[in-house]
Amino acid sequence: MQRFIIEREIPGASELSASDLAGIASASNAVVDGLGQPYTWVTSYVAGDKVYCVHEAESADVVLEHARRGGFPANTVSLVANEFGPSWGVAS
């Protein structure tokens, strides 16, 4: 599977309550269960009027199908080319 960053423009996203976010999570999980193919929602971040999600799927088309079925915006879907972190800057 490939990893994708999804940018979702949702006005007022940072104002969503824990209950609102739980409802979105339940809807997303139900769509994942019904896709009939490998798909993993890794995590999501809320910042201002956007939600940034990390998902793993076979293709961007599958990510877009998840968004369509769930009624979620998917304004930008970007394939992750590589990952790194602070430990990469430590000499071995």
pLDDT tens digit sequence for 27-74 = 999 999 999 999 999 999 999 999 999 999 999 999 999 999 999 999
User: Six-digit token pair at 19?
Assistant: 């209950």
The domains found in the chain, sorted by start residue, are: 2-81 (3.30.70.3090)
52: which strand partners?
A: 7, 45
Cα distance between the two ends of the chain: 30
pTM of the model: 0.90
Burial class (CB in 10 A: 0-12, 13-18, 19+), 81: exposed
